[in-house]
């Protein structure tokens, strides 16, 4: 029989190992597991919706509305009204019918047609339920979606959503209005995907089939997937595509913390990994970098926009910088 002191030391060592892996590699939550991701009551969900609404609606109104408007142009110019001709006005805009009727020169005023369709393609795979900082990736993703949606309705645009994992989870057709946006936020908070993996290619094919009218499409994911360059190219020809790449810094590199018990969030596989072996760390780092390089190359080749947002940095600054850069081109 083991000495009680030795047994206690073994138990403490195992517990310490588990805590090390938890804090250094972060934690993941299974979207389908009620014990790990509790949303116990409707009241609790509504409270979360209200909290996100207050935070993101203010951001979209006071910070993003002007930037969003400048970055994403309308479909063209439409006639608005006429006014008296003033020195310096373009004579080509003179309304000759009104001028002849009144005897005084009048010109036509045009304004940009602002109504657009905004589609949010949102990655709900289990790898998004991961985080090593104040929020999980899917919690930051929810806030970003809310900011974009409120910015869109502030400009009288429609907003639709496609939730996806390794399958199409749900399609919400584009509509206007605050009630519609609050429904989207609630779905984001309470949605439990059936799939666990990520298939961006299948999602873009579905999007190309269901949305025929030109739209602004924000594709939000950690992009731990490949094989989507071809459907992305097709989508980019018809739509204005922007990839929002969410990155947790702990995913970028496997730390040297010795033997750890790791779980593949999307496949569910559990295995022990000796991070003290450089070959193991290099293998993981190479795998991650390949996905990131594929993301950058695919969006660059197709002419689609792309922005990377780290979970340990402000998504507000990243989005503002992207919108400003886009508006200046």
Q: What is the pLDDT of residues 119-149, one digit of tens each?
A: 999 999 877 766 556 677 888 999 999 999 9
For residues 259 and 180, the model is more confident at: 180
Only one residue has tokens 């907003």, namely 159
What is the pLDDT confidence band of residue 324, given thresholds at 50, 70 and 90? confident
pTM for this entry: 0.71
Query: Which percentage of the chain shows pLDDT scores above 70?
Result: 77
> Residue 68 — pLDDT band, cuts 50, 70, 90?
confident
Per CATH, which fold does 40-72+114-327 belong to? Answer: Rossmann fold (3.40.50)
Which residues lie closer than 8 Å to 290 by C-beta, 6 or more apart?
Answer: none
Angle at 206 (CA atoms; ends 147, 219), nearest 5 degrees: 30
Interval 80-105: pLDDT, tens = 678 888 887 888 888 888 889 888 99
The mean per-residue pLDDT over the stretch 271-276 comes to: 74
Instruction: Indicate the SS3 state at residue 81.
Output: strand
The confidence score (pLDDT) of residue 285 equals: 84
Q: Name the residue with higher pLDDT: 24 or 113.
A: 113
Q: Residue 278: its pLDDT value, please? A: 81
Residue 286 corresponds to which tokens in the numbers above?
Answer: 């190479």
**Per-residue pLDDT, 90:** 81
Banded model confidence at residue 254, pLDDT cuts 50, 70, 90: confident
- In sequence order, the β-bridge partners of residue 270 are 263
The answer to whether residues 205 and 164 touch, using CB atoms and an 8 Å cutoff, is no
Is a pLDDT exceeding 50 seen at residue 43? yes
> Tell me, what's the pLDDT at 35?
46
Q: What is the mean pLDDT of the chain?
A: 80
- Please provide residue 307's backbone torsions phi and psi, each rounded to the nearest 5 degrees: -145, 135
Q: Could you tell me the pLDDT band of residue 28, with boundaries at 50, 70 and 90? A: very low
Q: Best-predicted range by mean pLDDT among 25-34, 52-61, 107-116, 193-202? A: 193-202
Query: Which residues on adjacent β-strands are paired with residue 59?
Result: none
* pLDDT over 50 (residue 30): no
- What pLDDT does 130 receive? 66
Tell me: the pLDDT tens digits for 279-313? 878 887 888 889 899 999 999 999 999 999 998 88
* 198 neighbors 221 (Cβ within 8 angstroms): yes
Q: Which residue has the higher pLDDT, 323 or 74?
A: 323
* For residue 263, pLDDT beyond 70: no
Alpha carbons 192 and 29: distance in angstroms, whole number: 12
Confidence category of residue 231, pLDDT binned at 50, 70, 90: very high
- pLDDT at site 123: 94
Residue 7 has pLDDT above 60, yes or no: no
Cα 245 to Cα 112, 138, 144, 256, 282, distances in angstroms: 31, 12, 11, 26, 23
Question: 37-41, 84-88, 233-237, 278-282: lowest mean pLDDT where?
Answer: 37-41
- Give span(s): CATH 3.40.50.410, the chain: 40-72+114-327
Q: What is the mean pLDDT of residues 302-329?
A: 89
Cβ atoms of 140 and 315 within 8 Å: the answer is: yes
């Amino acid at each position: 029989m083991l000495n009680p002191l030795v047994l206690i030391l073994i138990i403490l060592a195992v517990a310490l190992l588990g805590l090390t892996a938890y804090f250094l590699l972060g934690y993941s939550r299974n979207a389908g597991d009620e014990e790990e991701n509790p949303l116990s009551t409707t009241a609790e969900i509504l409270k979360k919706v209200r909290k996100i609404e207050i935070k993101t609606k203010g951001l979209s109104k006071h910070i993003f509305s002007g930037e969003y408007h400048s970055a994403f142009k309308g479909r063209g110019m439409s006639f608005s009204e006429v006014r008296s001709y003033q020195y310096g006005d373009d004579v080509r805009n003179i309304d000759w019918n009104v001028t002849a009727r009144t005897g005084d020169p009048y010109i036509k005023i045009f304004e940009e047609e602002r109504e657009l369709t905004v589609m949010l393609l949102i990655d709900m795979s289990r790898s998004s339920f991961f985080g090593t900082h104040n929020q999980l990736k899917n919690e930051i993703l929810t806030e970003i979606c809310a900011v974009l949606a409120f910015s869109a309705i502030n400009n009288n645009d429609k907003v639709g959503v496609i939730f996806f994992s390794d399958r199409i989870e749900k399609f919400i057709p584009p509509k206007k209005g605050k009630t519609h946006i609050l429904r989207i936020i609630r779905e984001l908070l309470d949605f439990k995907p059936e799939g666990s993996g990520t298939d961006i290619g299948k999602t873009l094919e579905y999007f190309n089939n269901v949305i025929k009218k030109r739209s602004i499409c924000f594709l939000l994911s950690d992009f731990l997937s490949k094989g989507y360059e071809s459907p992305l190219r097709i989508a980019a020809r018809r739509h204005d595509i922007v990839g929002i790449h969410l990155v947790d810094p702990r995913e970028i590199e496997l730390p040297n913390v010795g033997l750890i018990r790791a779980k593949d969030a999307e496949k569910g596989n559990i295995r022990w990994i000796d991070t003290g072996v450089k070959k193991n760390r290099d293998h993981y780092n190479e795998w991650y970098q390949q996905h990131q390089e594929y993301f950058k190359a695919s969006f660059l080749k197709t002419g689609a926009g792309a922005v990377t947002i780290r979970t340990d940095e402000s998504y507000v600054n990243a989005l503002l910088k992207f919108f400003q850069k886009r508006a200046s081109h």
